[in-house]
């Protein structure tokens, strides 16, 4: 984008005057943020390139975890420096916008992946648009009170939403059995990196069909209308904070239908208005279903096409060409199943299409024990998606293999050609250029800038690795100082910047095994205290994670780690060796600060459980070694960078399968006194916990008919062995080279590569 300082400042001043009755000198941060953003939006619109004709893909997702837009947008428009200088020239600073709230319309990996894909598609000039929900409140804000997680509403719109445009003319009505609501789209441009491309993220907001009915309100019997108003806006009120667990709530079903119905009605209407026939809809569009959350799109499109006069078979044929399905987890509790009666009650016409799909499946004469969409009145959304989709994909090689051989093995036997793997990726713009400009500049200096949009080129850094170590260390050191200062300010904990930064940041889940990390910390702590561990390399153990508000064990683990932190950080004897901090409200913006400052990337899920992981890729790209299991994309990270340059431990997927059959952790505990000691802190009064949640945690690991579901205790010994080896390697020339080898081998994990794979293998764009 062309940038002229004078015009830019004039635009900002004019918006400040018209919208806020203020000027650059007096505007508060929020006012200035809105004015700057709107000025850039208007200019980007004025300078936009013509929209390319041709087939487009719609990425249907209940979540888009966009984070903060302003810095990324200025960067991608190529005006980050200029805008910063312009503001500085009038006594303001871009840095002020560090306060701006993230758009956290997603939970974790699945939502952030959608955001990376939109950015990469725009940068690769692939016509991909996102479709989702404009939640009034995003993922909750997390604080800790006495070590327990507290949740508050995430009022992200209080900062304004200058990057979205409300498109009144595209509003549609969405009908439920009991109520009709109006869906109004808000379009957010997704700018490609310095290429003039803007794709769209279209987020739907629900509103009452009629404007407020004052007469009905005055007339006290007007209850029905009042209720309608209430229900309509409620649909988009808040993002469900569950990650990996299905809750069969009617409101969630409404959200899912609302989003896909609005998107498809809009698309069908536009297609018809362009004078094209609906039998050719798949020539103009294809849709990617981001997990099962948007799978109601299938029966909804069937319904819409039949309303237009197509037969079921004709409509089914279109759907089978147009839809594709991505699975993001194999956890049984995450696979969505809806009560058929609930769907039939709320959406009778949609349910009818689901029933027709089931009937069609039955007519194929397949084994009904293996192939069903509706069984015992339960609708299995993944089965519906697989049956009707053209392509089904997993998100890392190991994950796709598990889908083929286990989770969906019967479907794979039936449709082997449907299943493909597309390994996840991350955008190197946000996750290196933006969050780690000094390291990016160092790479540019050695190999030029081609890697910005072709990450494979980063391998050209290999010959320079030995020379780069001092500069790399200096950059990492600076990033660590900044993070330490930020943590001091926000968490009140002192982290010496010369300590090793050992980091585990991701959603809190038992399968991700934050507990394993926590127990190892106690093991080191007591080892240092009783002298069995000598010269422990000074390490700061850093955690960040939100727990779903209803996930009891996850919240207990947060409490436990906060208690461990309190114990360690208040012990002067171990102060030279360790610190522990659990940062509050971990989000995209916090991740940007953490990822560039980490020395160790903890990716320690039980093998087979983490579909891919994407933070593992972010750390790798920023020159961090992985301490991890052979799970998800860790496997491919080792293939690319060499297992010898990472720290791998624990049972493999095959071992997990055999061990689980006879697993009994009591023996392990008895044979490992140091582990026993760490575990007993959960019950022996070391920590205060009036809720009894720590005792429950102890129970889940040691008691019941299936203790320690995720093999924390089984992998413990190997984990601490490899972890100690890593910490003792730290600081050697060899160690720094490992960091840089990982960075140089991260090419595969660009989401540019992922979206190109989708475009080629699935979307045929």
- 245 binds ligand 26W per the rule CB under 6 A: yes
Residue 523, C-beta contacts closer than 8 angstroms, at least 6 positions apart = 674, 675, 677, 678, 720
Which CB, 241 or 665, lies closer to ligand 26W?
241
Is residue 610 within 8 A of residue 512, CB to CB? The reply is yes
Three-class SS state of 94: helix
- 243 binds ligand 26W per the rule CB under 6 A: yes
* Nearest distance from C-beta of residue 764 to ligand 26W, angstroms: 22
- Choices 45-53, 65-73, 244-252, 723-731 (CB under 6 A): range interacting with ligand 26W: 244-252
Confirm whether 245 is a catalytic residue: no
Q: Kindly identify the residues of this chain, within the stretch 686-715, that bind ligand 26W according to CB under 6 A.
A: none
The closest residue (CB) to ligand 26W is 109
CA distance 518 to 515: 5
Three-class SS state of 335: coil
Which CB, 200 or 751, lies closer to ligand 26W?
751
User: Active-site residue among 136, 141, 418, 512?
Assistant: 512
Task: DSSP letter for 577, please.
Answer: T
* Nearest distance from C-beta of residue 399 to ligand 26W, angstroms: 8
Residue 109, C-beta contacts closer than 8 angstroms, at least 6 positions apart = 328, 424, 506, 507, 611, 612, 613, 614, 615
Specify the residue for token string 């007993």.
680
**What is the DSSP annotation of 719-759?**
HHHHHHHHHHHTTSHHHHHHHHHHHHTGGGGBHHHHHHHHI
Three-class SS state of 206: strand
Which CB, 615 or 622, lies closer to ligand 26W?
615
**Could you tell me how many residues of this chain bind ligand 26W (CB under 6 A)?**
23
> CA-CA distances (angstroms) from residue 742 to 128, 470, 505, 604, 643?
30, 17, 19, 18, 10
- Choices 152-160, 438-446, 607-615, 731-739 (CB under 6 A): range interacting with ligand 26W: 607-615
CA distance 582 to 568: 12
- Choices 11-19, 35-43, 239-247, 352-360 (CB under 6 A): range interacting with ligand 26W: 239-247
Of 13, 400, 614, 751, the residue at the interface with ligand 26W (CB under 6 A) is: 614
> CA-CA distances (angstroms) from residue 689 to 516, 559, 682, 699?
20, 8, 9, 15
Q: What angle do CA 127, 203, 269 make, to 5 degrees?
A: 65
Q: What angle do CA 676, 681, 684 make, to 5 degrees?
A: 105
Give the β-pairing of 128-133 and 198-208.
parallel
Q: Kindly identify the residues of this chain, within the stretch 615-674, that bind ligand 26W according to CB under 6 A.
A: 632
CA distance 356 to 346: 17
Which CB, 40 or 588, lies closer to ligand 26W?
588
* Nearest distance from C-beta of residue 277 to ligand 26W, angstroms: 35
- Choices 106-114, 152-160, 517-525, 565-573 (CB under 6 A): range interacting with ligand 26W: 106-114
Confirm whether 51 is a catalytic residue: no
Beta bridge partners of residue 205, listed in sequence order: 184
- Choices 87-95, 236-244, 446-454, 541-549 (CB under 6 A): range interacting with ligand 26W: 236-244
Of 330, 395, 439, 726, the residue at the interface with ligand 26W (CB under 6 A) is: 395
- 291 binds ligand 26W per the rule CB under 6 A: yes
Confirm whether 618 is a catalytic residue: yes
Is residue 78 within 8 A of residue 44, CB to CB? The reply is no
* Nearest distance from C-beta of residue 290 to ligand 26W, angstroms: 8
- 109 binds ligand 26W per the rule CB under 6 A: yes
Confirm whether 614 is a catalytic residue: yes
Confirm whether 696 is a catalytic residue: no
* Nearest distance from C-beta of residue 197 to ligand 26W, angstroms: 24
Binding letters toward ligand 26W, positions 319-338, x by CB under 6 A: ---------xx----x-x--
CA distance 432 to 438: 9
Confirm whether 328 is a catalytic residue: yes
- 108 binds ligand 26W per the rule CB under 6 A: yes
Give the residue numbers marked as catalytic: 328, 506-507, 512, 614, 618
Q: Report the interface residues with ligand 26W, using CB under 6 A.
A: 107-110, 113, 242-246, 291, 328-329, 334, 336, 395, 424, 610-614, 632
């Amino acid at each position: 984008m062309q940038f002229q300082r004078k015009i830019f400042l004039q635009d900002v001043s004019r918006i400040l005057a018209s919208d806020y009755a203020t000027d650059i000198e007096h505007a508060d941060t929020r006012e200035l943020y809105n004015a700057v953003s709107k000025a850039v939006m208007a200019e980007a619109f004025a300078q936009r390139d013509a929209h390319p004709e041709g087939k487009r893909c719609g990425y249907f997702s209940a979540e888009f975890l966009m984070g903060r837009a302003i810095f990324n947008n200025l960067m991608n428009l190529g005006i980050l420096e200029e805008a910063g200088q312009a503001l500085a020239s009038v006594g303001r600073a871009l840095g002020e916008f560090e306060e701006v709230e993230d758009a956290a319309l997603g939970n974790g990996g699945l939502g952030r992946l959608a955001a990376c894909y939109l950015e990469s598609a725009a940068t690769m000039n692939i016509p991909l648009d996102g479709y989702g929900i404009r939640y009034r409140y995003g993922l909750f804000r997390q604080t800790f009170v006495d070590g327990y997680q507290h949740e508050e509403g995430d009022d992200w719109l209080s900062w304004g939403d200058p990057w979205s445009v409300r498109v009144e003319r595209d509003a549609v009505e969405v009908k439920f059995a009991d109520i009709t609501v109006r869906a109004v789209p808000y379009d957010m441009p997704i700018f490609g990196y310095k290429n003039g491309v803007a794709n769209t993220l279209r987020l739907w907001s629900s509103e009452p069909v009629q404007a407020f009915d004052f007469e009905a309100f005055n007339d006290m019997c007007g209850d029905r209308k009042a209720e309608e108003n209430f229900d309509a806006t409620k649909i988009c009120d808040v993002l469900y904070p569950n990650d990996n667990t299905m809750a069969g709530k009617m409101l969630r079903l409404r959200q899912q239908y609302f989003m896909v119905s609005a998107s498809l009605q809009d698309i069908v209407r536009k297609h018809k208005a362009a004078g094209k026939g609906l039998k050719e809809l798949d020539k103009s569009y294809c849709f990617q279903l981001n997990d099962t959350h948007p799978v109601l799109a299938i029966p909804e499109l069937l319904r819409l096409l039949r309303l237009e006069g197509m037969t079921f078979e004709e409509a089914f044929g279109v759907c089978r060409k147009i839809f594709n399905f991505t699975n993001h987890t194999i956890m049984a509790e995450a696979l969505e199943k809806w009560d058929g009666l609930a769907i039939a009650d709320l959406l009778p016409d949609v349910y009818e299409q689901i029933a027709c799909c089931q009937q069609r499946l039955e007519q194929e004469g397949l084994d009904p024990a293996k192939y069903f969409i509706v069984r015992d009145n339960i609708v299995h959304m993944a089965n519906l998606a697989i049956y009707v989709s053209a392509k089904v994909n997993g998100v890392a090689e190991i994950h796709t293999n598990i889908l083929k051989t286990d989770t969906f093995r019967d479907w794979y036997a039936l449709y082997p050609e449907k299943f493909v793997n597309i390994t996840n990726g991350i955008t190197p713009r946000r996750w290196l250029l933006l969050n780690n400009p000094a390291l990016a500049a160092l790479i540019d200096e050695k190999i030029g800038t081609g890697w910005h949009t072709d990450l494979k080129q980063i391998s050209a850094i290999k010959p320079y690795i030995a020379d780069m170590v001092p500069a790399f260390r200096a950059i990492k050191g600076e990033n660590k100082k900044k993070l330490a200062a930020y943590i001091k300010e926000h968490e009140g904990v002192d982290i010496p910047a010369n300590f090793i930064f050992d980091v585990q940041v991701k959603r809190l889940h038992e399968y991700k095994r934050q507990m394993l990390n926590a127990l190892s910390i106690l093991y080191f702590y007591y080892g240092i205290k009783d002298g069995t561990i000598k010269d422990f390399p000074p390490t700061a153990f850093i955690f960040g994670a939100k727990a779903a508000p209803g996930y009891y064990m996850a919240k207990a683990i947060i409490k436990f780690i906060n208690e461990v932190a309190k114990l360690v950080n208040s012990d002067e004897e171990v102060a030279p060796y360790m610190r522990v901090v659990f940062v509050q409200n971990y989000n995209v913006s916090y991740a940007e600060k953490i990822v560039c400052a980490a020395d160790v990337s903890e990716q320690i899920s039980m093998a087979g459980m983490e579909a891919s992981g994407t933070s593992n890729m972010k750390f790798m790209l920023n020159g961090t070694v992985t301490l991890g299991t052979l799970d998800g994309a860790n496997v491919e990270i080792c293939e690319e960078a060499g297992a010898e340059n990472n720290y791998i431990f624990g049972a493999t997927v095959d071992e997990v399968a055999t061990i689980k059959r006879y697993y009994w952790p009591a023996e392990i505990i008895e044979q490992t006194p140091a582990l026993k000691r760490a575990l007993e802190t959960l019950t022996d009064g070391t920590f205060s916990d009036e809720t009894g949640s720590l005792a429950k945690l102890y129970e889940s690991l040691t008691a019941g008919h299936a203790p320690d579901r995720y093999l924390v205790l089984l992998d413990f010994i190997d984990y601490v062995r490899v972890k100690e080896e890593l910490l003792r390697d730290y600081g050697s020339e060899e160690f720094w080279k490992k960091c840089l080898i990982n960075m140089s081998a991260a090419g595969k994990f660009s989401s540019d590569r992922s979206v190109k794979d989708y475009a080629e293998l699935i979307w045929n764009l």
